[in-house]
Amino acid sequence: MLYGAGVALRDIYSLVKSAYHGSYSQHGEDAYIADFFAKRPRGFYLDIGASHPFRFSNTYLLYRSGWRGVTVEPIPRLGKLHRRWRPRDTLLPIAVGRTGGTLEFFEMTPSVLSTLDREVATRYVADRQAVIFQRYSIEVAPINHVFEQANAIAPIDFVSMDIEGLDTDVLSVVDFSRFRPSLFCIEFDSANARQDIEVLFSRAKYEIVREIGCNLFATPAEVS
C-alpha cells in the first residue's frame, strides 16, 4: 500500500513538473511535434511502445491539447495508468512485431527499457542500464494489423514508435502504400540503426526532417 502511494505521489509530482516546463517527453520531442501540428487543433496518433501515460511521452502534450489516439503498451500496470490518465485514448495491451504470435517479454526496471529482444535485455543488464524485473509471455500483433485497427477509428496523423531494439525490424514491414501519417517519430539505438532507418524511410518516400535525442522524425516526401 505504501509503495503504491509512493508511486502515485511520484506520478503527480512528475505531471506537475512536466506541465510547468511545457514538455512531457525525454528531450522535448513533444514540443517539436506540437509545433509541427500547430495548425491542427485536433488529430489522431498511434503511440507504439507508449510506456507511462505521461512520463517520457511523445503524445501526452497532444492529448492535453485535445487530440486522441491509440496507445500500444503491454505492461499491465502501465496499461492501467493509461486507462486512468488518458480515457479518450484506445489502449491495446499488446506488443507489435513483424508477424503475430506469442513471445517472451522482458519487463525491465526502468520499464522504458522493456523489450521482446533477449539480446537487448541481456545487453542492458550487462551495461548496468537496467535489471530484468520479470519475464512473461505476451500477445504480439503484426504491425500492419495495428495500423489497420488505429486507422479504422480515425486517419492517423502522427506515429511514435519506441520498441527497444526492434524498431528497425518492424519499420521494415510497415505498408507505407496504405498508411502515410503526416509525421513519423522512431527511436534508434545505434549509428547502424539510424542509417538503416534512413534507408527504409527513403524507400517509403519519406524524408528525415529532424533528429532530437535518439529519435528521428520523417514526413512524406510529397509534403515535406
The boundaries of the domain holding residue 174 are 22-96+143-220
Angle at 95 between CA 3 and CA 82, to 5 degrees: 45
Residue 22 has a pLDDT of: 75
Note the pLDDT of residue 189.
85
Does 118 score more than 60 pLDDT?
Answer: yes
pLDDT above 90 for 133: yes
Q: Give strand ranges (E) for 131-221.
A: 131-142, 158-161, 183-187, 206-212, 215-220
In a domain, 124, yes or no: no
Question: Is residue 156, in this structure, part of any structural domain at all?
Answer: yes
pLDDT of residue 58: 97
Per-residue pLDDT of 16-34, as tens digits, reads 666 657 789 989 999 999 9
Q: Evaluate if residue 7 carries a pLDDT over 60.
A: no
In a domain, 197, yes or no: yes
Domain-embedded: residue 10: no
Compute the distance between CA of residue 115 and CA of residue 112 in angstroms, rounded to an integer.
Answer: 9
Stated pTM of the model: 0.90
Q: For residue 147, is it within any domain?
A: yes
Residue pLDDT, tens place only, 96-111:
999 999 999 999 999 8
CB contact set of 62 (below 8 Å; sequence gap of 6+): 30, 33, 34, 37, 43, 45, 69, 158
H/E stretch holding 125 reads helix 118-126
Percent of the chain whose predicted confidence (pLDDT) is above 90 = 79
Residues making up the chain, counted from first to last: 224
- Per the listing, cell 511535434 goes with 33
Q: Determine, yes or no, domain membership for 16.
A: no
Looking up residue 35, the CATH number of its domain turns out to be 3.40.50.150
- As a whole number of angstroms, the distance between CA 149 and CA 45 comes to 12
Asked if residue 121 is part of any domain, the answer here is no
Does residue 31 lie in a domain region? yes
Instruction: Give all strands of the β-sheet with 131-142 in edge-to-edge order.
Output: 95-97, 131-142, 101-109
- Number of domain units in the chain: 1
